[in-house]
Amino acid sequence: MSVAPEMGGIDTSVGVEELESFEALQRMAGSTEKVVDPRMGRHDDATFMGAAAVQGESGKLWVGVTWANLTDSAGEMFEFVDRVFLPVPEDLAFQKLRFMECLKALEVIPNKYDQAMYFPELKDAQALAAYMTKVAGGQQFTITLTMSTGGFVNCRVRRRPRSK
């Protein structure tokens, strides 16, 4: 496609090789390397530093959970803030369950608890964040960071083994 430069476009007709396939694009780019985020993976000694309630621009409430004592694959220390979205009654079951699994793993609610929990107001979310910090603050957990297909980092808190 060629658009006249005088009309604000870019002239693509002069000296540009037309690519017919992805393979041709790869050859043109030369050597490639796999790009991997060094923060991804399992972190056995992640420290729960605290939680803070946030209301996004869309009005959606979430709790920002700060994790410290994390080390990437290159040996560099880093912190990570996870967004734990607070479900609303209209959300899908998996969204409600993901929220509850996070609270159970942090030992904020008992493992056997199976009732949906909603925090519709910012003040309610702030109370939840304060309670999460009170219960789990300063403790170490195992977390796993993964990259979603959309390019977002997902954090999963692993439940601790039950004591016998």
pLDDT for 3 beyond 60: no
Closest alpha carbon to 43 in 78, 8, 14: 78
Closest listed residue to residue 39, CA positions, set 150, 152, 141, 139? 152
Please give the pLDDT value at position 7. Answer: 57
- DSSP states along 85-109: EPP-TTS-HHHHHHHHHHHHHTTSS
Tokens read off for 85: 């979205």
Any idea how long the chain is? 164
Binning the chain into helix, strand and coil, the percentages to the nearest 5 are 25, 30, 45
**To the nearest whole percent, how much of the chain has pLDDT over 90?**
70
- 89-96: list long-range contacts, CB under 8 Å, 24+ apart: 89/116, 89/118
- Choose the weakest-confidence range: 18-22, 59-63, 101-105: 18-22
For the chain, give every domain's residue range.
Answer: 41-157
Whether 103 has a pLDDT exceeding 90, the answer reads yes
Split at pLDDT 50, 70, 90, the class of 60 is: very high
Q: What is the mean pLDDT of the chain?
A: 87
Per-residue model confidence (pLDDT) at position 95: 92
CB 63, CB 84: distance < 8 Å: yes
- Low-confidence winner among 32-41, 49-58, 62-71, 143-152 (lowest mean pLDDT): 32-41
Mean pLDDT of 24-33: 75
Q: Is pLDDT at 1 greater than 50 in this prediction?
A: no
117: nearest Cα among 88, 141, 144? 88
Q: What is d(CA 26, CA 32) in angstroms, rounded to the nearest whole number?
A: 8
Q: Whole-angstrom Cα distance, residue 51 to residue 83? A: 10
CA distance linking residue 109 with residue 100, whole number of Å: 8
pLDDT band at 80 (very low <50, low <70, confident <90, very high): very high
- The whole-angstrom separation of Cα 37 and Cα 150 is 14
User: Could you tell me the pTM of the whole model?
Assistant: 0.76
Whole-number pLDDT of residue 20: 81
Q: Judge whether 69 and 77 are in contact, CB under 8 Å.
A: yes
